[in-house]
Structures are given as C-alpha cells and as structure tokens.
Amino acid sequence: MKQARTVPVLMYHHISPSEGMITTSPDNFERQLAWLSRRGYRSLTSDEFAGHLHGRAVPARSILITFDDGYLDNWVYAYPLLKKYGFSALIFLVTSWVGQGSVRRYLGQDELPQTPAHDECERLIAQGRSDEVILRWSEIEALRAAGTFEFHSHTHTHTRWDKSMPASEKNAHMAQELSLSRETLAEHLGSVSEHFCWPQGYFDADYIRIAREAGFQYLYTTQAFGQNRAGTDPASIYRFAVRNTSGESLGRRIRIAVHPWIGPLFNRWKLWRRARRQRS
C-alpha cells in the first residue's frame, strides 16, 4: 500500500440550502464528495488518523472530514450524502446544546425541517431554542449506528472565556467546560474519546495543559497552514475550511495541502501574508 505522507483535515459547519457564512450547499457538497470518490479518496476514522500521526500507514489518498458544533443540517443533508458516497466524518459536539426528541426527516424524505443560516442558528441558540437547529441525541444515536459519524467534544457551551475574564478565571471555566462535556458524552454515548476541538479556534498553552489533564490528546485547531504528517504534534492538528465551491476547487486545495514542497511553500506564503496584513 502506498502510504500517505500528509492527511488533510477538512472542516465544515453547515450543509444547507440556506446561504450564509461557513455553509456549503448540498449541491456543492455532493460535487465535492463525488470528486473525492471518483479519485479514490478514503475518509479516515479518528483512530486511523491518530495512528497516522504516530507513524502507522494509511492509504495515500486519505482525508479526515470534520464538522463543528453539531447542527441539524448535518443530519438532514450531510448524512445522506456521505452515506451515498461511502464517506464517514467526525462531529465535534457542543454538548449543552443537544436535546431530546424523535429523529427528524432527512434528504430523500418529505417535509424536511428548516435548516437556517448560521447567524439565525446563533440567534436561536442564544434564545434557548437550540433544538430547532442542533442535533438531538436520538439522531446522534442513529448516525453512530449507521457508521457515518463519530462524535467528540467541542466543550459544553462553546464560550470564549478568554474574552471576558482574567487568565486564572478563564482556565477554571475551561476546566469545568471540559468536565461537563465529558460527563454528558459519557452519559449519552457510553464513552469519551481523546479527540477535542477548540471553540472558535482559540487556545493557548494553559488550555492545552488543561485539555491534556482532562484526558484529551488530539486537539483540533482552525489553523489551516500546516501539514498533518507522521510526527506532527497531536496538540496542534491543522484543518482548512471547505468553501461553498466545486469538487475541482476542493481537489486543488487538497493537492496543494499534500504536496511535499508546494504545500509547505504555500503555507509559509499564506502565513507571511497574514502577518503582513496584521502589521499594516
């Protein structure tokens, strides 16, 4: 088996016909999956990806597909399309947002539930109406049973504590977040993995220490410009956001990400441009 040197990690939030930020349309999502399928790409499980970071072989055309937050549209649109093309993915759940209730309808069935744009989802969640836009435990169980999605922690409330309090207090709040998230996942799923995703992408050295002390070893960032190779620090897993674009466009981004010398050059150039913008 030809072994992958680099495994790109794809980051999604919404798959929905409602246009908005961090949203991919169902049509474009299907185009992306079809492109990956035609070219022989394989989605890894979290265990396989962890093995890759520790030097175990995975197929050359390997990817990891991730979704943040746990939106209802992941069930309504992402699930049936992933299933159609034989891919699996990870969802990082904000555990306090998940509620009870029966499973709702998904693509291919009649009378689909509404899947609002991201701004409206945030508004409804802030009003205590997360059930209208977030997965239910019944849907999570159905997705696990189908083998299409794994579920991991994205904290309990998705709060940026660093924005509102001193470091000593934010650290205590983050430790509590992780504890509550783990308790909730253990109660409903029976276990908790070592994989964790930072809310809104923020982390610092204290947060990394707290996450490791809580039992999380594989820490997913929103940092796009790096390569996930054997030996990469599992506390700094790179992911790039997938745009609402074609399969060919995603393919170009993946080919850049895995190239042994174009990839690092591209990443350095993007980081240089970002630093230059921040200085200006």
Report the sign of the C-alpha dihedral through residues 18, 23, 26, 27, in that order. positive
Q: What is the 3-state secondary structure (H, E, C) of 60-92?
A: CCEEEEEEEECEHHHHHHHHHHHHHHCCCEEEE
* Domain spans of the chain, in order of start: 9-279
Report the sign of the C-alpha dihedral through residues 180, 182, 183, 189, in that order. positive
User: Span 9-279: which CATH code?
Assistant: 3.20.20.370
27 closest CA partner among 245, 243, 242, 241: 245
Tokens 């850049």 sit at which residue? 256
The predicted structure's pLDDT at residue 164: 83
At 96, list the tokens.
Answer: 């306090």
How many secondary structure helices (H) and strands (E) does the chain include?
10, 10
The predicted structure's pLDDT at residue 2: 81
pLDDT beneath 50, residues of the chain: none
The predicted structure's pLDDT at residue 65: 99
The predicted structure's pLDDT at residue 61: 97
The answer to whether residues 126 and 132 touch, using CB atoms and an 8 Å cutoff, is no
The predicted structure's pLDDT at residue 1: 63
13 closest CA partner among 99, 85, 89, 107: 89
